[in-house]
Amino acid sequence: MPPFIRLETSADHARSEALTRAAFWNIYQPGCHEHHYLHQLRAHPAFRPDLTFVCEEEGELAGVIACSSSHIALDGGGRLDTVTFGPLAVHPHFQKRGLARALVCHALRAARDAGEHAAVILGDPRHYGRYGFWCGERFGISMENGQFLPGLQAVELRPGALSNAAGRFHEGFPYAPDEAALAAFDAAFPPLEPAVTPSQEEFRFMCSLGHEVIPNGFM
Ligand SMILES: CC(C)(COP(=O)(O)OP(=O)(O)OC[C@H]1O[C@@H](n2cnc3c(N)ncnc32)[C@H](O)[C@@H]1OP(=O)(O)O)[C@@H](O)C(=O)NCCC(=O)NCCS
């Protein structure tokens, strides 16, 4: 049976944050920031509550995908509004059952139905190609600082939406760590031990793969 997916409500907030913390803990760094980002995102103007979904399994909140507005500042002038998701989290107890797949597909379809043209995210390229994402570089989309990163992933929600979208990607919500605020926020959760893990090294390597484009290549 497909998982039950619905919009997140305020009654879900604490459980969404707890499952996000459980999912991200020690994966990309010792501890994690993502449950705090999720909390902060909901109070940010870029937040898209109409595109933020949870899924339930066995009567429990098992996963969440939170969306926000973002845009590409086009090289040719003007901007293309885009949608971004993150955090995307599935509680470890419910992973590897297709819940992330169901949440991503549901959110992208809902974004398309809401009139969005394209989604741009920062995530593991090994994970997102299966949903139709390409590296932003394919469309000429770089980070705000002009770097092309494999983790900058873009997908058209309408055919051709990114065919003239070369430019710089701007997140609507700044995923910027605030250690003091995080520590205060995290204190309300059950204690967990931060640890160094191999997945953090892998993530650092992935983040180091960015590059700038030299105009005219090697010529
Ligand atoms: C990533 C995550 C959401 C996947 O949830 P899930 O419900 O287990 O995923 P699914 O069952 O839908 O599996 C989707 C596929 O992605 C793969 N996958 C899972 N996590 C992945 C990751 N971090 N990077 C790349 N691929 C991943 C799975 O192995 C699976 O591949 P398969 O279909 O070939 O077996 C979950 O592992 C999680 O919450 N991880 C911690 C937080 C995180 O990394 N979020 C994503 C940030 S980019």
Residue 125 lies in a domain: yes
Residue 168 lies in a domain: yes
Tell me the CA–centroid distance for residue 127 and ligand 1, in Å: 7
> What average pLDDT does this structure show over 82-95?
98
Residue 194 lies in a domain: no
Q: Would you state the pLDDT for residue 212? A: 80
Q: What's the distance, CA 25 to chain centroid?
A: 16
Q: How many Å is the maximal CA-CA distance in the chain?
A: 61
Q: Would you state the pLDDT for residue 214? A: 72
> What average pLDDT does this structure show over 38-56?
98
Residues with CB under 6 A from ligand 1: 23-24, 27, 88-90, 95-101, 123-124, 126-127
- Take atom 4 of ligand 1 and give the residue whose Cα is closest: 100
The domain spanning residue 133 has which CATH number? Answer: 3.40.630.30
pLDDT for 105 beyond 80: yes
Residue 207 lies in a domain: no
Which residue among 64, 67, 95, 104 is best mutated to probe the pocket of ligand 1, counting the most ligand atoms within 8 A of its Cβ? Answer: 95
Tell me the CA–centroid distance for residue 88 and ligand 1, in Å: 9
Confidence of residue 163 (pLDDT cuts 50, 70, 90): very high
Residue 14 lies in a domain: yes
Which residue among 32, 127, 153, 202 is best mutated to probe the pocket of ligand 1, counting the most ligand atoms within 8 A of its Cβ? Answer: 127
How far is it, in rounded angstroms, from Cα 206 to Cα 200? Answer: 10
Total of domains in the chain: 1
The mean of the pLDDT values for the chain is 95
Residue 196 lies in a domain: no
Residue 71 lies in a domain: yes
Residue 54 lies in a domain: yes
Domain hosting 123: range is 4-172
Q: Would you state the pLDDT for residue 209? A: 86
> What average pLDDT does this structure show over 118-125?
94
Q: Give the start-end residues of each E strand in the chain.
A: 4-7, 53-57, 60-74, 79-90, 118-122, 134-135, 141-142, 152-156, 167-171
- Take atom 35 of ligand 1 and give the residue whose Cα is closest: 96
pLDDT over 70 for what percent of the chain?
98
Confidence of residue 1 (pLDDT cuts 50, 70, 90): confident
pLDDT for 194 beyond 80: yes
